[in-house]
């Protein structure tokens, strides 16, 4: 036996003794010294391997934040609030309200009802209304002269809202289609839309609206150069602070049909609008349209329709970093309402999902007939 060194520490002596007693790896007769077998995995707590790549499963579980409502709210990337909504109103002469059959839940409103709607919008936190006129066939003319009248229903409604002292934005559509007997956005020479002659009329229409108290002029006609002409007209007449929300990328869409019924243009329209509204097949062209309107003085730009053109919303937002709006148009609204009424879809859920999609695509705000309904839900914490 090897003699013990006198100066060897006791702890070290113990360690050597343990090493001497420990079975060697090749000792087949270790017997009681063998390592115990691992415990069987519980069905409720399965064993996980440790072979995951760094940063992968199971260390990373993307479902963790989805387990509770409070957690989902904390990590939500996109927010929808009533501040994101603009409520379109169809204004008519007379008193009361008239249901629009192709747009369930939407009525034509008289001027006094528009004031009540503005009060409702303020209570719901909706920052702005967009006014459009219903013009019966008896008041439509070839040149759309009613568009220039200080007493047309849009201008009456704007003045009434201003007289009521309501702190809400008023946006007004600038185009001739709601006033012409042929249903087109501009003046006609045979079958040809006259661009420059139409612009001169649109400037006068814009000035009449600004004088009535409209905050935002919204040209939807798609004539070339109309934004610059309107801006010059506003500047020259003391309306430097009147904003322009340009329908910069407005497509020749089949989704406008219920709206044309709502404003009385369905029966009037002769032909189609493809010589001035954009081809749904085009995307790059939208950027050219938007760039021109920004250069001419637009404060905000819009893509219309919205739901089926979210790629355009995203491209415009990313390219120009301008306030970019989208219009959830009548046909998009009517489709969802029809499906919900038949029980095919959950109406509230598809409404909110469609609106959040606009925000996710980069829209600063959405014109939607759902605005008051969505604002009520958002006020309840939906």
Q: Does residue 113 contact residue 96 with C-beta atoms inside 8 Å?
A: yes
Q: How many CA atoms lie within 13 A of 22 on its CB side?
A: 9
Cross-strand pairs, 99: 107
304 is catalytic: yes
Q: Does residue 325 contact residue 249 with C-beta atoms inside 8 Å?
A: no
Three-class SS string for 50-113?
CCCCCCCCCCCCCCHHHCCHHHHHHHCCCCCCHHHEEEEEEECCCCCEEECCCCCCCEEECHHH
- Those residues whose C-beta lies under 8 Å from the C-beta of residue 242, and which sit 6 or more positions away, are 210, 214, 215, 216, 217, 234
250 is catalytic: yes
Catalytic residue of the set 21, 250, 273, 359:
250
Handedness of CA 196, 198, 200, 206 (dihedral sign): negative
Looking at beta carbons, which pairs linking 104-110 to residues 24 or more positions away fall under 8 Å?
A: 104/334, 104/337, 104/338, 104/341, 105/337, 105/369, 105/373, 106/262, 106/333, 106/369, 108/134, 108/262
Nearest CA to 211 out of 247, 177, 176, 172 is that of: 172
In angstroms, rounded to a whole number, what is the distance separating the alpha carbons of residues 131 and 108?
11
In angstroms, rounded to a whole number, what is the distance separating the alpha carbons of residues 344 and 347?
9
Q: Give strand ranges (E) for 100-252.
A: 107-109, 128-133, 169-174, 187-189, 192-194, 216-219, 243-250
In angstroms, rounded to a whole number, what is the distance separating the alpha carbons of residues 108 and 86?
17
**Do β-strands 187-189 and 365-368 pair in parallel, antiparallel, or remain unpaired?**
unpaired
Catalytic residue of the set 2, 21, 304, 359:
304
* Catalytic center residues: 250, 304
């Amino acid at each position: 036996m090897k003699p013990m060194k006198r100066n060897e520490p006791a702890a070290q002596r113990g360690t050597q003794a343990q090493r001497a007693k420990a079975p060697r790896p090749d000792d087949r007769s270790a017997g009681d010294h063998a390592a115990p077998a691992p415990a069987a995995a519980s069905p409720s707590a399965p064993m996980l391997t440790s072979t995951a790549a760094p940063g992968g499963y199971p260390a990373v579980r993307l479902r963790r934040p989805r387990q509770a409502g409070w957690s989902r709210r904390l990590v939500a990337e996109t927010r929808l609030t009533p501040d994101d909504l603009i409520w379109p109103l169809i204004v008519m002469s007379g008193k009361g309200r008239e249901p629009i059959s192709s747009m369930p839940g939407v009525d034509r409103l008289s001027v006094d009802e528009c004031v009540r709607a503005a009060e409702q919008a303020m209570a719901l936190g909706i920052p702005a209304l967009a006014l459009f006129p219903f013009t019966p066939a008896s008041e439509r003319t070839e040149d759309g002269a009613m568009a220039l009248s200080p007493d047309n229903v849009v201008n009456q409604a704007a003045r009434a809202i201003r007289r009521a002292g309501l702190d809400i934005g008023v946006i007004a559509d600038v185009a001739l289609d709601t006033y012409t007997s042929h249903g087109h956005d501009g003046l006609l020479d045979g079958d040809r839309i006259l661009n420059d002659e139409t612009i001169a009329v649109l400037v006068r229409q814009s000035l009449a609206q600004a004088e009535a108290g409209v905050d935002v002029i919204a040209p939807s006609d798609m004539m070339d150069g109309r934004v610059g002409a309107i801006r010059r007209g506003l500047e020259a007449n003391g309306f430097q602070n009147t904003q322009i929300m340009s329908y910069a990328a407005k497509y020749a869409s089949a989704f406008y049909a219920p709206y044309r019924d709502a404003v009385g243009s369905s029966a009037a329209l002769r032909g189609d609008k493809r010589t001035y509204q954009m081809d749904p097949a085009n995307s790059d062209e939208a950027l050219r349209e938007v760039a021109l309107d920004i250069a001419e003085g637009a404060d905000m730009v819009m893509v219309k329709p919205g739901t089926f053109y979210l790629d355009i919303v995203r491209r415009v937002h990313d390219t120009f970093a301008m306030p970019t709006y989208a219009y959830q148009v009548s046909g998009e609204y009517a489709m969802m309402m029809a499906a919900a009424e038949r029980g095919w879809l959950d109406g509230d859920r598809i409404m909110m999902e469609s609106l959040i999609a606009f925000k996710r695509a980069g829209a600063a705000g959405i014109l939607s007939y759902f605005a008051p309904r969505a604002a009520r839900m958002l006020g309840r914490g939906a």
